[in-house]
Amino acid sequence: MLIVQVCVGSSCHLKGSQEIVEKMQAAVEKYKLDGQVVLSGSFCIGKCSRGGVTIQVNDDVYTGVSPDGFDEFFKEHILDVVNS
């Protein structure tokens, strides 16, 4: 089970966290990961990055995820992990 928290703090919000949340929901649905991935939002994780949004997956924190880089992030840190 992966707990995925997308930061919706003000800095990440400005960098597209709403779009990331929507893409995340769509991707979880597309790959039918409902039972394996729990999505939630979080307040500022304290790792605001200039380049994008902060996402925490279980205990790992990733910064700088942009809507453009979402697909790659999802594959590497969620899809491949669930399938491994």
Residue 5 touches ligand FES, criterion: CB under 6 A: no
Collapsing DSSP states into helix, strand and coil, what is residue 71? helix
Residue 44 touches ligand FES, criterion: CB under 6 A: yes
Candidate segments 23-31, 39-47, 64-72, 74-82, binder of ligand FES by CB under 6 A: 39-47
Instruction: List beta partners, residue 41.
Output: 6
Contact indicator for 47, 15 with CB cutoff of 8 Å = no
- Which one-letter DSSP state was computed for residue 69? G
Residue 47 touches ligand FES, criterion: CB under 6 A: yes
Closest-approach residue to ligand FES (CB): 9
